[in-house]
Structure 1
Amino acid sequence: MTRPGFEEQWRRRFVQRGSRFDDDAGIAGWTPSGLETRLRNFRRVWPGDRPGALWLDAGCGAGSYTRHLSACGVRPVGLDYALPSLRKARQRSPGDIPWMVGDVTRLPVAPASLDGILCLGVMQALARPEAAVAELMAAVRPGGQIWIDVLNADCLITRLQRGLARLRGRGMVLRYDRPRQLAHWLRAHGAEDVRIHWVPILPGPLRRLQPWLETPAVRRLLATVPGIGALVSHAVLVSAVKTGVQPAHGAGS
């Protein structure tokens, strides 16, 4: 499979990380506090599913979310294109979890065969994320759940970093997305009940203040005051449900 240069660079990085690191955060490319915050926020908002429901963790890395799905009673499959990461995921996970080598842009599953799908920590390493969204939507049955996260292009700190990079004549290593654009792609490919969940993450030196950002009062503020969540959230988690209506040909292109 031929990948765009940007994607191939990131595939090699993730293979190297899977070989080099042993901790889940290092394999995924996050700091330990960053991964803990992301996982904690997902646990807070994910509603769960019926026991035995079939879920795919696409881009599972070392299996942090895959194991959480399993502990909640659904039947997860972990998929990643970095074989070293999958080997470590299998070593530290229950033996009944299956693992597959595969790419989120070409999922090795039958259409409409999944009850739910996660794709977390992946979109920033893709050149054409909208194509991956279409692939994810196609794999889920009508009524199934889709959960995707992205790095937030509207975050104030991200905007400052991009401005500094331009002044220095440097490009950004990662790709960032706007939550509304991701929500548009999901709806264009047959999703409803699209929801945006803001994930503010403080830098490592300030991680002791992170619990304050996750208090009910602050979370309510981010959810209800327009613009605040987008400005302060490094990441965003978007959830949706697949409808039974197929989108028109070429929608979202």
Structure 2
Amino acid sequence: MTWLADTRTSYDTVAESYAAWAADALDTRPYVRATMAVFAAQADGPVLDAGCGPGHFTAHLASLGLDASGIDLSPAMIDLARRSYPELRFDVGSMTDLPVADASVAGVLAFFSLIHVPDAEVPVVLGHFRRVLRPGGRVVIGYHVGEGTRLKTEGYGGHPMRVNVHLRQPAHLARWLRNAGFQVDADWRLNPEAEVPQGILFASRPA
């Protein structure tokens, strides 16, 4: 798939700059920390950070006492994560063909990692999330709220990128989750007055 190749190449290109940009995300964003705390409190077992990038959220989940591992499409991101957090497990892989065993995790965090996945592929990804979750397992999805798609051609550190950024309405994403067999538990907005607000959906696989 062209979008997968473009996304992989783009994030390989910006990996170092992205890691520097995201280094203080948890320090400066209390509502993101709150999201991680809620996720950690509800996860009863190992968790997967799907689209983990350089691993900073994975490491934070581990610091909250979780058995956390990460997966990302970009080999350069995974190299950074492994160097920064050698005590944790990180693997290269795609959410569209998730190389994780069935019913093997208690939680999946997909924090702004679905934003580059085309609409037609989102149900595939959510199907994999449900497959790898144990009954009663939790999923948390961070996303950009809005309509339409924007082509991003320049990224972190001014490096070239070629990725589509998909903005989505909460009701649409919630419907995809329900169609994939999830129960939607909570719907949060971050920066609701911003030009592009952020949304967080909490969902669970029924026991």
TM-score (ref. length: structure 2) = 0.80
> What does 1:34-45 correspond to in 2, within 5 Å?
35-36=25-26, 40-45=30-35
The residue matched to 1:111 in structure 2 has which SS? coil
Deviation of 1:173 after TM superposition, in Å, equals 4.1
Deviation of 1:96 after TM superposition, in Å, equals 2.5
Pairs aligned (count):
192
Deviation of 1:129 after TM superposition, in Å, equals 1.9
Task: Give me the whole-angstrom Cα distance separating, in 1, the residues matched to 2:104 and 2:137.
Answer: 10
> What does 1:128-139 correspond to in 2, within 5 Å?
128-139=121-132
Deviation of 1:38 after TM superposition, in Å, equals 8.5
Listed as ranges, the gaps of 5+ residues in structure 1 are: 27-31, 163-171, 201-228, 245-253
On the 8 A contact 1:187/1:194 being kept in 2, the answer is: no
Listed as ranges, the gaps of 5+ residues in structure 2 are: 152-162
Q: Which has the higher contact order (CA 8 A, sep 6+)?
A: 2
The residue matched to 2:54 in structure 1 has which SS? coil
Alignment partner of 2:6 out of 4, 9, 19: 9
Deviation of 1:130 after TM superposition, in Å, equals 2.4
Q: Is the radius of gyration larger for structure 1 or structure 2? A: 1
Provide the residue aligned with 1:149 in structure 2.
Answer: 142
Task: Give me the whole-angstrom Cα distance separating, in 2, the residues matched to 1:98 and 1:242.
Answer: 24
Task: Give me the whole-angstrom Cα distance separating, in 1, the residues matched to 2:56 and 2:146.
Answer: 25
Provide the residue aligned with 1:242 in structure 2.
Answer: 205
> What does 1:205-216 correspond to in 2, within 5 Å?
none
Alignment partner of 1:75 out of 67, 76, 87: 67
TM-score (ref. length: structure 1) = 0.67
Provide the residue aligned with 1:166 in structure 2.
Answer: none
Task: Give me the whole-angstrom Cα distance separating, in 1, the residues matched to 2:129 and 2:200.
Answer: 15
Q: Alpha carbon RMSD of aligned pairs, Å?
A: 2.9
Deviations for 1:46-82, whole angstroms, at most 9, x for unmatched residues?
4224797200001100111101110000100111121
The alignment-based identity, stated in percent, is: 21
Amino acid at match of 1:15: D
Alignment partner of 2:88 out of 97, 109, 112: 97
| Runs of 4+ displaced beyond 4 Å | 36-39, 229-233
The residue matched to 1:23 in structure 2 has which SS? helix
